[in-house]
Amino acid sequence: MKITIYKVFFVTIFIAMMSSCESYLDPGYDSTLTKDDVFSSYVYSLNYARTIYSYLPTDSYNETYMTDEAKYTYEASAYSIMNNGSWTSRTYVDSWTWSRYYAGIRRVHIFLDNVDKAMFLDPNTYKLTPNLNDTAKKQLRAEARFLRAFYYFELLKRFADPAKNLGVPIVPEKVLTINDSLDFKRNNYDECVNYIVNDCDAAATVLPARQTPTDYGKASKAAALALKSRVLLYAASPLANPSGDIEKWKLAAAAAAQVIDLANKPSGANAYTYRLVDKATVSSDNMLTVFAKPNNDEVLFSSPVVQTNSFESSNLPPSFGGGGQLNPTQDLVDAFETTLGYPIADSKSGYKPTDPYYRRDKRLAYFIGLNGSQYGVAVDKDSKGNETPAGLSLRTIDSYVGGKDGLNSSTNATKTGYYVRKFMDPNADIKNNRTIATHFWVHFRYAEILLNYAEAMTEAYGVTTLPAGYTLSAYDALKLVRDRAGLTTPSTVKTLSANDFIDRVRNERRVELCFEGQRFWDVRRWKQGETYFNAPIHGMRITKNGAALTYEVYKVEDRVFDSKMYAMPLPYDEILKSTLLIQNEGW
């Protein structure tokens, strides 16, 4: 029976719970209520379950600014010390996530320890129906276990040192009090991976394959299996698997295949198909459907939908009234192939340095604001040239030197010659707020699963091998992503060596998933930090002379990466408090 979770009004105590930064010992409910009060109430119990979701990340722009994808426009930011290599265990910008995710895990344990006391009512009659009550509890337990797995993975990818088989502490599955020992040693990396996978598997057996639009944003079987896919991909990658154990790659391939099999359920009344949003749709809206249309077929799990112009206000070019914060690099731009399907350094690509955006992968224009890009913005001008809040008019980015959005033309102007376009709602009226953008942060989408699959299958079986029980080869999965982008895949790609094909898959991830928080971790799990993050980032200086444009690549700034940065430092204060925690080497 489908369980409908009501959109109940959150009482003040629960709003406070969601917005506060609780310590691991914070009981998570108002002092005027006891646990029995909370879990004897249908509304309070349900709200408590919902607040466990409040610890999910709402974006991953922090990671983007600390990669070769982008530069943050303001020089005096915390990202500068991350990029120049001067950060420490006291200044790591995401140190706060340690306490946040353990707080989320604690809330899971409070819920699991008390959910059997709760009574969940029939949503139509508000009467207790035993079967429905049991089903609701099972589903909510599964959601809680999925969220615990998610939070442990967020901790693991930051603070683990896989090369030394050091994970993070797996705390007891109970509600700890001040009478319990609160000093825990780190479990080893493999133990953490197995624990997370076990939670994912347990959740996947209970949760619906896809949530209904009414329950959008709640965990599903697809979400649990997608998390399992990502966890096992990381565990199989060179940082955690330096010996190249092929069995780990087979596990990662099988996990991605589980999601693909789920997505390919036959059509019909009970279908729950996931798929890539089609080429025609992404061509017409710069792929905005994927990131701004709730319950689209590509998104497996996301944050809740919000109506806000904050992203547009922060990142539109200054002539649009925006802050121009996220500046893509030339290094990222160069990763986009030409429409012929070759990297720009290949003589067969047809790349023209004097016209560098000609016949390029369409995603370049979808994701990055280039000189000459046009955005629709919800403003118009009256007869005197004053902006009015009526109508929709196109604006053009002029990022050439001396242009209204030109290089270093103002405090908010680009430092690289580019602006971000991905995620951007062109109809957002950031000056008058007449129109408000729709946003949600995508945690997992089908394109990522296909790329996970292509990478793991290549490492485990090769480029074109199709083992028994599998429906796609590595090549097939990669081609699906490229076809959707309108990109030719040369026939020679199928005959590449495994190593060369992996390079193509990695570049496809770089392009398709740019600005989605993947690059920071991908480069680390591939053990390529010294190659990509210990090198300067570059921009494009465009000079206009009449109608003629000239293009010059230049160095924006140096970046620093050394081997200790494969693992983030455990927070300084946590090390001081503990006698058992071991700090990662070099920190």
Specify the range with the lowest mean pLDDT, choosing from 40-44, 56-60, 259-263, 472-476: 40-44
Q: pLDDT tens, 360-386? A: 999 999 999 999 998 876 555 556 655
In this prediction, residue 136 carries a pLDDT of 85
- In terms of pLDDT, which residue wins out, 27 or 538? 538
Residue 482: phi and psi, rounded to 5, are -70, -40
Write down the mean pLDDT value for the chain: 89
Report which of 242, 68, 234 is spatially closest to residue 160, judged by C-alpha positions: 234
* Fold classified for 12-55+93-269: 1.25.40
In this prediction, residue 1 carries a pLDDT of 37
Q: How confident is the model at residue 408 (pLDDT cuts 50, 70, 90)?
A: confident
| Spatial separation of the C-alpha atoms in residues 474 and 461, rounded to whole Å | 9
Confidence check: pLDDT of 582 > 50: yes
Q: pLDDT tens, 548-566? A: 999 999 999 999 999 999 9
Q: How confident is the model at residue 266 (pLDDT cuts 50, 70, 90)?
A: low
Residue 272 CA from chain centroid, whole number: 23
Cα–Cα distances in angstroms (integers) from residue 286 to residues 212, 308, 323, 365, in the given order: 26, 19, 21, 8
Confidence check: pLDDT of 33 > 50: yes
In this prediction, residue 499 carries a pLDDT of 98
User: Are the C-beta atoms of 39 and 48 separated by less than 8 Å?
Assistant: yes
Region 47-53: mean pLDDT is 92
Region 46-75: mean pLDDT is 93
Residue 279: phi and psi, rounded to 5, are -60, -40
Q: Which region, left, alpha or beta, applies to residue 502 given φ > 0 means left and ψ of -120 to 50 means alpha? A: alpha
In this prediction, residue 27 carries a pLDDT of 40
In this prediction, residue 276 carries a pLDDT of 96
Q: pLDDT tens, 125-135? A: 666 666 667 88
Q: What is the DSSP letter of 293?
A: S
Region 252-256: mean pLDDT is 98
Q: pLDDT tens, 166-178? A: 999 999 998 888 8
In this prediction, residue 91 carries a pLDDT of 94
* Host H or E run for residue 71: strand 70-72
Confidence check: pLDDT of 567 > 60: yes
In this prediction, residue 31 carries a pLDDT of 54
In this prediction, residue 39 carries a pLDDT of 87
Whole-structure pTM value: 0.91
| Spatial separation of the C-alpha atoms in residues 304 and 390, rounded to whole Å | 29
User: In the chain, what are the domain boundaries?
Assistant: 12-55+93-269, 306-439
User: Are the C-beta atoms of 550 and 540 separated by less than 8 Å?
Assistant: no
In this prediction, residue 17 carries a pLDDT of 33
Region 501-512: mean pLDDT is 98
In this prediction, residue 123 carries a pLDDT of 65
| Spatial separation of the C-alpha atoms in residues 557 and 539, rounded to whole Å | 9
User: Are the C-beta atoms of 564 and 586 separated by less than 8 Å?
Assistant: yes
Query: What radius of gyration, in Å, describes the C-alpha atoms of the chain?
Result: 25
In this prediction, residue 36 carries a pLDDT of 82
User: Are the C-beta atoms of 464 and 492 separated by less than 8 Å?
Assistant: no
| Spatial separation of the C-alpha atoms in residues 522 and 533, rounded to whole Å | 12
Q: Which residues contact 320 (CB under 8 A, 6 or more apart)?
A: 375, 377, 395, 430
Confidence check: pLDDT of 20 > 50: no
| Spatial separation of the C-alpha atoms in residues 550 and 261, rounded to whole Å | 49
Q: Which residues contact 533 (CB under 8 A, 6 or more apart)?
A: 67, 68, 523, 559, 561, 565
User: Are the C-beta atoms of 296 and 289 separated by less than 8 Å?
Assistant: yes
What end-to-end distance do the CA atoms of the chain give, in Å? 52
Specify the range with the lowest mean pLDDT, choosing from 138-142, 313-317, 382-386: 382-386
CA torsion, ordered 496, 497, 503, 509, to nearest 10 deg: 70
Report which of 273, 243, 246, 291 is spatially closest to residue 59, judged by C-alpha positions: 291
